[in-house]
A and B are shown apart, each in its own frame.
Chain A
Amino acid sequence: MNSFSMTFTVNDFYLMLQGAAITFLLTIASGFFGSLLGFLIGWGRALGYTWLYYLLSIYIEVIRSVPLLIQFVLYNSFLAIAGLPIDPFVSGLITLSVYISAYVAEVVTAGIVGVPLTMIKAARGLGMSYLQSFRFVVVPIGARSVLPSWTGLMLGLMKDTSLIAVLGASPPELLRSSQIIITRIQEPLAILIGAGAFYFIMCYVINMAVQRYEKSWTSRRKVTA
């Protein structure tokens, strides 16, 4: 067997599988940190301080306006210039987390301000503190209304992870690993369909996980109906 094969080999499959795993882990990690940061920013905007609202809105608008590709390069170069040569995965993870946090923040703000004021008054009227009413009334009600939007962001994030390739991160994530194989065996269509299938499966898994969680809220309703 020739060491340079012109056909799709088992190793190629492993390379794509590894790429898929990297894509998945990047999505989960940046989705987690980005949602955490986005929650705090979205909450801050809903606190009712005008100056804070505008300050955080600038953050959101800047990050949403600059293409992600440019942000990848800028963060990475900035860290290198600052004398912190950093692993492309780490810098990519930071970029993705910051990027998605701006979108999550919008969703979180919408979820919080969407809870009727009289609902909050009812909670405060029972003697709950601001934090108690936020934790036990505002967040659960708001979360239920914006969960589908948040899921959409996470699925978009998964596809955006492919841009980390510009940093030359190695081992490559799913799309980059597919391109490597395409360059060698010259079968773009088949490989891209395969890569697409990987993306689909991962999105499906995330979607199912969220839907299961969502059901745990609503199925209780059906049992007692």
Chain B
Amino acid sequence: MIKIEGLRKSFGALEVLKGIDLTVNKGEVLCMIGGSGSGKSTLLMCINALEGIDFGRVEVNGIDVHAPGTDKNKLRQKIGIVFQQFNAFPHLTAWENVALAPRRVLGQSKAESRELAEYHLAHVGLGDKLDHFPSQLSGGQQQRLAIARALAMKPDYMLLDEVTSALDPELVGEVLDTLRLLAEEGITMIAVTHEIPFAREVSDRVAFFHEGVIHEIGAAKDLIENPQLPRTQKFLSKIL
């Protein structure tokens, strides 16, 4: 379970998160929507401590993420993250990309990590691209590689930060298909997305962010089809 209480975060004078309270249960899929600069991506980074926080508390599996004594490296093994920029390591082949962390962080042997990489790459439909370098893959393939790389650490949670935003329109579908697959498998996901139909289809709940707070949150179908607050209505009418 991820539990966020009273989270505040500023970059200099700019307060990006102005008090976030949110609980995400195991197996749940939560999509975060909202205009740019509304704090969605920052919140994701605060969950796995890639960003520090100013006030409040973030708990993952009962562990206070931002407490001074917390082993953040260990915690991050359990929280996979995929970014808008694919961030495939350019000097490594597809399988080496996936195998790197299991090998160096979990101490797996080369053979073990290779087997693991083959499994996860096949899982996202890249079973025939094991020895390809990122430069030889399309954007969609690179993003699926990034998803496989995160999954290879067997995370309890997946954080997805606008994973389709940098893709050509015709490549968005293949990445969303991969995410659908994960949702069906019951992986807990928090996704920042602009793909409203996708959010409606796969997520249990949708949260609408506006100016650093969760403006409205509810069951996916309700919030998207029948938003209660005017700002949410305005945002959805613009984007749909």
Contact = CB atoms under 8 A, between A and B. Distances in A.
Interface stretch (B17-25, B59-67, B76-84): B76-84
Q: Which of B81, B87, B146 has the most CB of A within 10 A?
A: B87
A122 B104 contact: no
A196 B181 CA distance: 66
Contacts of B45: 121
A126 B101 contact: yes
A64 interface: no
Interface in A76-126: 116, 118-119, 121-126
Interface in A122-156: 122-129, 132, 136-137, 140-141, 144
Contact of B146 (A122, A124, A225): A122
Interface of B is mostly: mixed
B48 A144 contact: no
A217 B96 CA distance: 14
A116 B83 CA distance: 13
Contacts of A141: 89-91
Interface in B36-71: 45, 48, 50
A217 B133 contact: no
A171 to B, nearest CB: 43
A127 B89 contact: no
B91 A144 contact: yes
Interface residues of A, number: 23
B26 interface: no
A179 B135 CA distance: 52
Contacts of A122: 81, 83, 87, 89, 146
B175 interface: no
Interface residues of B, number: 31
Among A116, A118, A126, A217, the most chain B Cβ lie within 10 Å of the Cβ of A126
A114 to B, nearest CB: 12
A121 B83 contact: yes
A224 B105 CA distance: 28
B147 to A, nearest CB: 12
Contact of A136 (B73, B87, B104, B135): B104
B83 A217 contact: no
A118 B82 CA distance: 10
Contact of A126 (B132, B133, B150): B150
Contacts of A144: 91
Given A136-B104, A221-B133, A224-B132, A127 B77 contact: yes
B89 A119 contact: yes
6 contacts: A122-B83, A124-B73, A125-B81, A126-B105, A126-B149, A217-B91
Interface of A: 116, 118-119, 121-129, 132, 136-137, 140-141, 144, 217, 220-221, 224-225
Interface of B: 45, 48, 50, 73-77, 79-81, 83, 85, 87, 89-91, 93, 100-101, 104-105, 131-133, 135-136, 146, 149-150, 153
